[in-house]
Amino acid sequence: MSLQGEEAVHFSVVDAKDCKQSAFEVGDKTYVICRSDDDLKTSAVKIHDKLTQTWLSPTILGEQPLLTKSQSVIPVSDEKILVIEKGVPLNESIWFLEIDTPFVKQQRKIKETEVVSWSKGVIGVGQKPVVISGPSGVGKGTLIAKLMKDYPSKFGFSVSHTTRSPREKEIDGVHYHFTERIKIEKDISEGKFLEFAHVHGNVYGTSIEAVESVTDEGKRCILDIDVQGARSVRASSLEAIFIFVCPPSFEELEKRLRARGTETEEQIQKRLRNAQAELDQSNEPGLFHHLLVNDDLETCYENLKKLLSLDDDQEDSDDFFNKEDKETASYSIVSKTDSEILLQSETNEGKNGAIHLLALDLSSLSGGAPGRTRGLKIGSVNSF
């Protein structure tokens, strides 16, 4: 079989005194992933700039791979490097080290230092998350609760973090992760949040983990966030459906807020002031895909269900991992074309001693740090 396209980069796994490392070059820089022998789980990334002949220790963002004894590495573009960890199930083994993606560029600006970020590769695309916004008291929580009750295996709720105090019936970790301002601000600065906003005097935010843990379970993620949050998600790498829920009238909104009985008069006044600003933004071009009026609850719920099933998202049809065993595997990168990487199994067990080749199709990647890189397609090439 002939190998097409670029040659695979020859990286080396060097047994240095106290670390193993893989080195690879992109442009004028050499990136070195270094692991300590004492603590395999800890990775460090060092960057050597050939022009200035200096070594940099970048800030490493994102969930880090469970580093194993060795890995196979190849740059897939100027923006990211594919890392295949060996000795773990294949679906745990695919990672991207982002070195110059839009997220990394943005974080580099914010932090005024060199930044790289890990992003886990996920087979298939999953279904787009659903962002639901609307003024306080319009009925977002009521609609979402109905959806979750009727379709518990289809939808999962993104549990936000907030600095506001829990209401009487709210459970920590279920309705919100109730947290301290200092803690959430630290996590935000470490890049752990997809978005955050100051709403009604408190900080609210969606952690990357809140969304990804739902998607990893194979469920469609529902986010209940304010308009500022929706705007941030719109600008992020997360592709979602954006729905704004409107009240039939301002008077009815006020009535519902008061009838709920969870806020003081001062808090109600603040929420009503913010409601007007949120309603004003709901028609902004390019922000929300759908507006739903919540007049009669059942009618609104039926319309919401219609919207979600009318959405032309495809179910994740890639059932490769249902066919393949999920046992530990060690794959090496053997070649790369513009959109495809060939992987060769180093462990022949279970495959009748044959060399097993897999094609990893990178042509429709989506997302990426600070979440997961989705859209990987994988299939057997042949065994010989």
Ligand X SMILES: Nc1nc2c(ncn2[C@@H]2O[C@H](COP(=O)(O)OP(=O)(O)O)[C@@H](O)[C@H]2O)c(=O)[nH]1
Q: Could you give the residue numbers annotated as active site?
A: 167, 260, 271
Examine residue 370 and say whether the peptide bond preceding it is cis (omega within 30 degrees of 0). yes
Q: Which does 86 bind (CB under 5 to 8 A by kind): ligand ADP, ligand X, none?
A: none
Shorter beta-carbon distance to ligand X: residue 22 or 236: 236
Contact 19, 36 (CB under 8 A): yes
155 vs 275: CA distance, rounded Å? 27
The CA R_g of the chain, rounded to the nearest whole Å, is 24
Distance CA 262, CA 252 (A): 17
Select from 65, 139, 156, 229 the one that contacts ligand X (CB under 6 A): 229
Q: Which does 138 bind (CB under 5 to 8 A by kind): ligand ADP, ligand X, none?
A: ligand ADP
Centroid of chain to Cα 79: 17
Q: Residue 118: which residues within 8 A CB-CB, separation 6 or more?
A: 60, 61, 62, 63, 64, 65, 95, 96, 97, 98, 369
Q: Which stretch binds ligand X (CB under 6 A): 35-43, 79-87, 136-144, 146-154?
A: 136-144
220/314 Cα distance (integer angstroms)? 12
Among 68, 107, 162, 294, binds ligand ADP (CB under 6 A): 294
Q: Residue 235 CB: number of other CB atoms within 10 A?
A: 11
Q: Which is nearer to ligand X, 225 or 308 (CB)?
A: 225
Q: Which of 46, 108, 164, 256 binds ligand ADP (CB under 6 A)?
A: 256
Element (H, E) at 301: helix 297-310
Binding segment (CB under 6 A) for ligand ADP, from list 8-16, 86-94, 135-143, 210-218: 135-143
Closest-by-Cβ residue to ligand X is: 229
* 272 makes contact with ligand X (CB under 6 A): no
> Counting contacts by CB under 6 A, is residue 224 touching ligand X?
yes
Does 141 sit near ligand X (CB under 6 A)?
yes
Residue 160 binds ligand ADP, judged by CB under 6 A = no
What does 199 interact with, of ligand X, ligand ADP, none (CB < 5 to 8 A by kind)? ligand X
Compute how many residues bind ligand ADP; rule: CB under 6 A: 14
Q: Which stretch binds ligand X (CB under 6 A): 23-31, 103-111, 202-210, 339-347?
A: 202-210
Q: Over the range 351-383, which residues count as b (16 or more CB within 10 Å of their CB) and which as e?
A: eeeeebbbbbebeebbbbbbbbbbbbbbeeeee
User: In angstroms, what is the minimal distance from the CB of 199 to ligand X?
Assistant: 4
CB 286 to ligand X: min, Å: 18
Closest CA to 342 of 321, 365, 358, 320: 358
Instruction: Figure out which of the listed residues 51, 174, 182, 259 binds ligand ADP, where binding follows CB under 6 A.
Output: 259
d(CA 329, CA 91): 10
Under the criterion CB under 6 A, does residue 209 sit at the interface with ligand X?
A: no
Tell me if 237 contacts ligand ADP by CB under 6 A: no
Binding residues (CB under 6 A) for ligand ADP: these are 134, 136-142, 256, 259-260, 294, 297, 300
